[in-house]
Amino acid sequence: MRTLKGPALFLAQFAGDEAPFNTLENIAKWAGDLGFKGVQIPSWDARLIDLDKAASDKSYCDEIVETLAKHGLEITELSTHLQGQLVAVHPAYDKMFDGFAPEHVHNDPVARQAWAIDQMMKAAQASANFGLTDHVTFSGALLWPYMYPWPQRPAGLVEMGFKELAERWLPILDEFDRCGVNVCYEIHPGEDLHDGVTFEMFLEACNNHPRANILFDPSHFLLQQLDYLEFIDIYHDRIKMFHVKDAEFNPTGRQGVYGGYQGWTDRAARFRSLGDGQVDFKGIFSKLSQYNFDGWAVIEWECCLKHPEAGAREGVKFVNDHIIQVTDKAFDDFADAGTDDEANRQILGLK
């Protein structure tokens, strides 16, 4: 068995225009002082990284590694959540998702998609330049408006949607394969890959591509009322990344999973800071250790109540308390009698 690495922090929810969150140097010092050992970097945030430069200039990547090392940190992975989302966008979401892309491709879905694919290719090259083996992204969604089967979905609609999604992602997956990096889809509502079944459908459409893998985030599964511990049992071979994020589901006589169009604070299903929700992290860390997961435990802070800096500070201790230092021997080794084949035959009564 292997011991998880961590704690690490996804920087997307912390980056800002005010110090110490406005540069990689500043945010690294802040995170290192809190006790983090790694950071996951959102590749779209120019305050933290220049993706074009990282894809083409390994010396630039080496400088970032050195900057982080000064504060006791490693880069765990790069993220392309926003760019990956734009690989596949249903027209109903065009206006809302334009904000994820630069202004010169707004109101032009074809150009926006081409930009997103180019970003993904650069993320593969940048990850390789950093010496990383895993990368996190969203799948995007063509079918999400039809998630609930009313009105009845036309025959073949779902199959066509996954075929198209796979065709868009296969060249990207091949480039990541060339770079020696796994694409880890965050299984997430709003994406066509939002649970185990949809991941399997995508995997089949991608011919079981070896680089199509999973970022495991139990918060999204709790809010869907999915068994997130069994999810690990089923998909552990494809789970290459882990977001440590808490959530709670408190249904009432007025609302349930869908939340009645309410804001996050008033929803039955909502994200919480670590330890304030209902996720069984002892069970999760045990399962991941059992299956030899040796990736990073990366905190993704999202909470509708608590201040982010408090969530980060408390999260360091939470993850440290949950990482299992795995054993290198069996608890009953003291009783080993040191038998051999002949002794075993005698024990079994064999001639």
Q: Is the peptide bond before 102 cis (omega within 30 degrees of 0)?
A: no
Check residue 351 and give its pLDDT.
Answer: 75
Cα of 347 vs its chain's centroid, Å: 50
pLDDT in tens, the chain (351 residues): 789 999 999 999 999 999 999 999 999 999 999 999 999 999 999 999 999 999 999 999 999 999 999 999 999 999 999 999 999 999 999 999 999 999 999 999 999 999 999 999 999 999 999 999 999 999 999 999 999 999 999 999 999 999 999 999 999 999 999 999 999 999 999 999 999 999 999 999 999 999 999 999 999 999 999 999 999 999 999 999 999 999 999 999 999 999 999 999 999 999 999 999 999 999 999 999 999 999 999 999 999 999 999 999 999 999 999 999 987 777 666 567 777 888 888 888 997
Place of tokens 């945010």: 27
What CATH number did the domain enclosing 263 receive?
3.20.20.150
Check residue 304 and give its pLDDT.
Answer: 95
How far is CA 55 from each of CA 39, 40, 46, 201, 217, rounded to the nearest angstrom?
19, 17, 14, 31, 27
Number of structural domains (the chain) is 1
% of the chain with per-residue pLDDT over 90: 93
Q: Note the pTM of the prediction, 2 decimals.
A: 0.95
Residue 329 domain boundaries: 5-347
Place of tokens 């440590």: 244
Check residue 175 and give its pLDDT.
Answer: 98
